[in-house]
Structure 1
């Protein structure tokens, strides 16, 4: 029997009246999640000035990623059991509630509670949007829809910091959260009225939610983060060690559950290509999160940037990431390892540049480092998922593909937790921002070293598969 390939869709096939609502729904879901993180990063200096909590600044990012990790793991099972409409509508409502809580927060702990809810809702919206496109669009249209979602992601990454800066400059940071609350509630209403009640569902089988494994993973992140709250020569190292132990326990437990693995099997010695790529994603995410978490604050406090100007620098990295990915995504598979190595080497150089410049300038080196990081991540992260799925066993391709965002978010969360400890040890909350600005990026260099070691371990596999 001869296989007839599906026809290649044109944009005119997607941009029709029938597809307008599904396309708008999925794109808006991606926009809310993508724009929210960088919008908040840009507003953080003003938020901290208003409500305090400088010591907890890294938690704003970390807890959002924690919520996203949980919902990223849960959404497939929720949709299988409840269909698409209910869970995705609930995710939009939870996101709206999180924005509302953040908007009315008068203390940092209340804001952090809002960020957890935003992470749960936003992570759910993002993950479910990609499930929704398989349910709402014909197979031959899906590549075009993925292209549209990628474009929205890139635009959101660019616009998020600018939107946050604009609200701070011309309104208030609270108004930004309230605006996102209103948009998320409109999305929830739209989802409930436009998605069929019987779409998806009835396919859960015996699947169980990975409570124990997620508890180990989230416990690891929280222990590392808590180590920075009450700095002590005894308890801080113990908490960090305990977090690392829980992370190892999570990896072991996940490997013992082959039917519902969250991650592919991981070799700590990086002897296979997939393990090397997962290590790269984790360690470079852990060091790269320093820009989104701390750079706007340091630019504002140390260099006199307005919120809008600081947001523009963060947006520079985001737009160069997206532009680079778009320009080189058509490169042949045989070049994957080389592009990954070049891209991550550029990211490593950018961390050195930040370490030399964020505390005292020059500004051009800060901007050049942001540009280098965006280009480097765009070059590397475009090809790491593709190469990982080529190198793994065919039966593991779905697990490997799904693991990429989970590993990346975990790297962001662990990196934010660890760098929060470094910031507090360097005196960020005690009026020493110059020292903190320097040490936060210096502390990322060991992550860079391990990530580059993973690049070396990947190199022998470059001609496989």
Structure 2
């Protein structure tokens, strides 16, 4: 892929791509920081705004609107190119954090979170930008950089948010992010002047059924997080029925939001999209409950228990860098299978640590192996997704990958929450169940990992590979 000067970029930080690369990495980092920091600040926010009853909704609302936004933004990017969709989502993200930071009531704060959820769909047009502007040989490096951009916030985000909340006030957790978006946009705009980013495929029509399906998935995710987060006081049977109905709605609606045969992990693109949901489910099932087990079972302080997350984040970052250096020198299937197996090692050692009373350091170090698995695998799946996407389907397929990951994590959290609640009076078993749940998912992933490549790998995928249902 050549620039207007006739020479193809050789590095993601070269003169042709430097501003665009830095701008996108800064935006991903800010989005990640905000997502992590709000968890730290939320107890203070709900107290100051007298909105404890809306506590769970403040987390669930942006997740729900994010799904719908990914659907619309993906369709828009295919029709008109990624330039305008990316700018609009960045603006909406900024508006959302400003509304939340200036909120005088919990209702207004939640409204800001709703707008933020729409803005987080910025990652969809970013994928299309990569497909249009970055040579294919640089795709492993830029996706490795995207993965690494989440790591710094995971290391310092909660601590920084706590210090800001304590010394400056919780509002600056949001207002500070909004202020830092401005220099990123200043770098982004020149990079978006590339004519290829304004070229779409007008023959790609708006698909109303996908938008309706996005609404259904978003509403179902909202219901799942509500009934599993103690936000309502319904009878148990009604809560179970609501959760099952929400899961069924997701399964039905997702068929409109992903390539055909995704739920069956059809070879090639469908399996790549489905695998994003699978590994997201396995990862979140363990990561959420590891600090809880270390604190409750072994009596570690919150900061000491948090070391397990740091280990995973650092290993993820290092493995992403290694993956970017490896490029295509290792088989796609080998990398995906190895990454999945390493997540299994992390979950399995966490289970053994809790069951056998092993030193907590065993679980912490082992979760570093799980993080390295994600760092190796995640960028490779992103590369495969674009490789198997025709230009007219880059936006749709990018949004499908994000939606699959998001819904996989949401379903996994609902499942582990139900297991934990069911076994809460069974002692240590309740803390081990999520890891067993993750291991089942990992085992399935290892078995089907070979399906991420078509039966006969070709340079250009046939148009039918990327066709959505309906």
TM-score bracket for the superposition, by shorter chain length: 0.7 to 0.9
8 A contact 1:273–1:461 mirrored in 2:
yes
TM-score if structure 2 supplies the norm length? 0.72
2:253 aligned partner: 250
The answer to whether 1:447 aligns with 2:441 is yes
- Tell me, what secondary structure is at the counterpart of 1:26? helix
Instruction: Find the partner of 1:343 among 339, 343, 347.
Output: 339
8 A contact 1:316–1:371 mirrored in 2:
yes
- The 1:352–1:215 alpha-carbon spacing in structure 2 relative to 1, beyond 3 Å, is same
- In 2: Cα distance, 1:250 partner to 1:170 partner: 41
The answer to whether 1:362 aligns with 2:359 is yes
Give the alignment's Cα RMSD to 1 decimal.
4.7
- In 2: Cα distance, 1:20 partner to 1:379 partner: 24
2:319 aligned partner: 324
Structure 1 residue 43 displacement after superposition: 5.7
For residues 121-176 of structure 1, the C-alpha deviation after alignment (integer angstroms, 9 at most, x for no partner) is 1222x2233444567x6x66x86598456425404423343132133146537232
Structure 1 residue 235 displacement after superposition: 1.8
- Tell me, what secondary structure is at the counterpart of 1:234? helix
TM-score if structure 1 supplies the norm length? 0.73
1:123 aligned partner: 121
- In 2: Cα distance, 1:194 partner to 1:7 partner: 16
- In 1: Cα distance, 2:354 partner to 2:159 partner: 20
8 A contact 1:91–1:122 mirrored in 2:
yes
Structure 2 stretches of 5 or more lacking a match? 1-5, 459-470
Instruction: Find the partner of 1:99 among 97, 101, 118.
Output: 97
1:35 aligned partner: 33
8 A contact 1:165–1:310 mirrored in 2:
no
- The 1:128–1:12 alpha-carbon spacing in structure 2 relative to 1, beyond 3 Å, is closer
- In 1: Cα distance, 2:113 partner to 2:191 partner: 28
8 A contact 1:158–1:315 mirrored in 2:
no
Structure 1 residue 265 displacement after superposition: 1.3
Structure 1 residue 269 displacement after superposition: 5.1
2:368 aligned partner: 371
Instruction: Find the partner of 2:71 among 70, 73, 80.
Output: 73
For residues 403-425 of structure 1, the C-alpha deviation after alignment (integer angstroms, 9 at most, x for no partner) is 33331122123223333444555
Structure 1 residue 337 displacement after superposition: 2.3
- In 1: Cα distance, 2:291 partner to 2:49 partner: 17
Q: Which moved more, 1:400-409 or 1:236-245?
A: 400-409
Structure 1 stretches of 5 or more lacking a match? 1-5, 255-261
Structure 1 residue 284 displacement after superposition: 2.4
- The 1:312–1:96 alpha-carbon spacing in structure 2 relative to 1, beyond 3 Å, is farther
2:225 aligned partner: 225
Q: Which moved more, 1:27-36 or 1:434-443?
A: 434-443
Matched residue count: 441
- Tell me, what secondary structure is at the counterpart of 2:277? helix
Structure 1 residue 213 displacement after superposition: 1.8
1:164 aligned partner: 158
